């Protein structure tokens, strides 16, 4: 599968590197308005290929995206320390207008995988600009928050995160919702599993995990200015689900017809992802407080998208 990446900065290059290592693509093309950066990143990633999977890696102009099956949109301006994701919006919306025009000239049918923040609103912006069907404009959304949730729950319960089925819903950001009521370890509700293994999920454990998930990006930004490895791997995971028509259940963002009474809003829910993009969306069982938190998250995202006009 041919994958384009527009924006060869930290996130775009980490996605390219993760793809090369995981074997997610037969060809990767990096595009950036800073051509020297795209060329350097492509060369650097290409040098990892002999240690990984066969894959051609190059840099080019938008024309080089011709025939791309999927293009990752990682262009934009970086989040500053302490800066709310939403405040990045208008600057990044302008970048997307330019970028998507370039991409679609070369590859009109390509699927779009949005990584730029604030990712949910950027997904809605990308859908609007591209005119593609909504299931083909996918935001990385809470894929990473969900991974962090599973990892912290797995640590607490003493099981592999792969055996934890739990999702973070709504916005990728401050209003995100950890779906505790539907969280399972194996086939057991996590609360029951915790009691069985002597690791009860008390209120303070819940708060610690919630904080650990919700504040992760802020902590990393404090230490290194931005985040890229985790999201790079998450993007490669989504690409693999598409490439291999895996029909994996991933928490990703697309514009959703209705959630908790809010219509046409991009946010994350567990979704079945395969060759044609998002194939099905699931709404997990929610506790009352989770349902109202999801509604607030959806309303906030909808308002932000509307404020763009
Ligand atoms: P992040 O940490 O989100 O990856 P970076 O600043 O490292 O942020 O990367 C963003 C990349 O997007 C930069 O390399 C920048 O040159 C690129 N970029 C910004 N605007 C455009 C644009 N209009 N077209 C193509 N690339 C762009």
% pLDDT > 70, the chain: 99
In this prediction, residue 78 carries a pLDDT of: 72
290 has a pLDDT exceeding 70? yes
**Cα(166)–Cα(181) distance, rounded to whole angstroms?**
9
| Residue to mutate, 9, 37, 62, 113, ligand 1, most ligand atoms under 8 Å from C-beta | 9
Query: Burial, 184: exposed, middle or buried (Cβ in 10 Å; 0-12, 13-18, 19+)?
Result: middle
DSSP 204-243: HHHHHHHHHHHTHHHHHHHHHSS--HHHHHHHHHHHHHHH
**Cα(243)–Cα(111) distance, rounded to whole angstroms?**
11
pLDDT digits (tens, 9 = 90+) for 187-237: 999 999 999 999 999 999 999 999 999 999 889 999 998 899 999 999 999
281 annotated to bind ligand = no
108 annotated to bind ligand = no
Centre of ligand 1 to C-alpha 75, Å, is: 4
Centre of ligand 1 to C-alpha 304, Å, is: 22
CATH number of 2-139: 3.40.50.720
Contact 254, 135 (CB under 8 A): yes
Residue count of the chain, please give it.
309
**Cα(188)–Cα(192) distance, rounded to whole angstroms?**
6
In this prediction, residue 233 carries a pLDDT of: 97
3-state secondary structure (DSSP) of residue 269 = strand
List the domain boundaries for the chain: 2-139, 142-307
For residues 119-144, give the mean pLDDT: 97
Contacts of 122 (CB under 8 A, 6+ apart): 73, 76, 89, 92, 93, 96, 114, 116, 139
- Atom 7 of ligand 1, nearest CA residue: 9
- Atom 9 of ligand 1, nearest CA residue: 9
Centre of ligand 1 to C-alpha 217, Å, is: 19
User: Which stretches does DSSP call E strand in 14-85?
Assistant: 27-31, 56-59, 70-73
In this prediction, residue 149 carries a pLDDT of: 98
pLDDT digits (tens, 9 = 90+) for 233-266: 999 999 999 999 999 999 999 999 999 999 999 9
In this prediction, residue 114 carries a pLDDT of: 98
145 annotated to bind ligand = yes
Contact 31, 59 (CB under 8 A): yes
pLDDT confidence band for 89 (50 / 70 / 90)? confident
In this prediction, residue 216 carries a pLDDT of: 92
- Atom 13 of ligand 1, nearest CA residue: 9
In this prediction, residue 81 carries a pLDDT of: 80
Ligand 1 proximity of 12 Cβ (cutoff 6 Å) = yes
58 has a pLDDT exceeding 70? yes
Ligand 1 proximity of 221 Cβ (cutoff 6 Å) = no
- Atom 14 of ligand 1, nearest CA residue: 9
pLDDT confidence band for 91 (50 / 70 / 90)? confident
Cis-peptide into 119, omega within 30 deg: no
| Residue to mutate, 75, 116, 117, 232, ligand 1, most ligand atoms under 8 Å from C-beta | 75
In this prediction, residue 73 carries a pLDDT of: 98
121 has a pLDDT exceeding 70? yes
**Domain 142-307 -> CATH class:** alpha beta
What Cα–Cα distance (Å) separates residue 245 from each residue in 38, 45, 165, 279? 29, 25, 21, 10
62 annotated to bind ligand = yes
150 annotated to bind ligand = yes
- Atom 23 of ligand 1, nearest CA residue: 95
pLDDT confidence band for 86 (50 / 70 / 90)? low
Share of the chain residues as helix, strand and coil, in percent rounded to the nearest 5: 50, 20, 30
288 has a pLDDT exceeding 90? yes
Looking at the annotation, which residues are catalytic?
172
pLDDT digits (tens, 9 = 90+) for 142-195: 999 999 999 999 999 999 999 999 999 999 999 999 999 999 999 999 999 999
The overall average pLDDT reported for the chain is: 95
85 has a pLDDT exceeding 70? no
For residues 6-25, give the mean pLDDT: 95
In this prediction, residue 241 carries a pLDDT of: 97
């Amino acid at each position: 599968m041919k994958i384009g990446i527009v924006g060869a900065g930290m996130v775009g290059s980490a996605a390219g590197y993760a793809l090369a290592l995981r074997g997610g693509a037969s060809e990767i093309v990096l595009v950036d308005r800073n051509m020297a950066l795209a060329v350097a990143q492509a060369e650097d990633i290409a040098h990892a290929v002999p240690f990984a999977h066969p894959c051609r890696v190059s840099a080019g102009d938008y024309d080089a995206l011709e025939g791309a099956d999927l293009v990752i949109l990682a262009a934009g301006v970086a989040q500053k320390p302490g800066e709310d994701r939403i405040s990045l919006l208008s600057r990044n919306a302008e970048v997307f207008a330019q970028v998507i025009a370039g991409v679609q000239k070369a590859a009109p049918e390509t699927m779009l995988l949005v990584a730029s923040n604030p990712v949910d609103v950027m997904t809605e912006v990308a859908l609007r600009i591209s005119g593609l069907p909504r299931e083909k404009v996918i935001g990385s959304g809470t894929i990473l928050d969900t991974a962090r949730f599973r990892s912290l729950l797995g640590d607490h319960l003493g099981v592999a995160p792969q055996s934890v089925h739990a999702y973070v819903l709504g916005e990728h950001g401050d209003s995100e919702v950890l779906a505790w009521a539907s969280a399972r370890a194996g086939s057991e509700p996590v609360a029951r599993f915790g009691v069985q293994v002597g690791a009860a999920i008390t209120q303070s454990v819940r708060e610690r995990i919630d904080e650990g998930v919700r504040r992760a990006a802020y902590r990393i930004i404090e230490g290194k200015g931005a985040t890229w490895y985790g999201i790079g791997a998450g993007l490669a995971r989504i690409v693999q689900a598409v490439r291999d028509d895996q029909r994996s259940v991933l928490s990703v963002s697309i514009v959703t017809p209705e959630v908790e009474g809010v219509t046409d809003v991009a946010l994350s829910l567990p979704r079945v992802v395969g060759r044609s993009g998002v194939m099905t969306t699931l709404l997990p069982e929610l506790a009352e407080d989770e349902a109202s938190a999801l509604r607030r998250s959806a309303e906030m995202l909808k308002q932000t998208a509307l404020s763009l006009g």
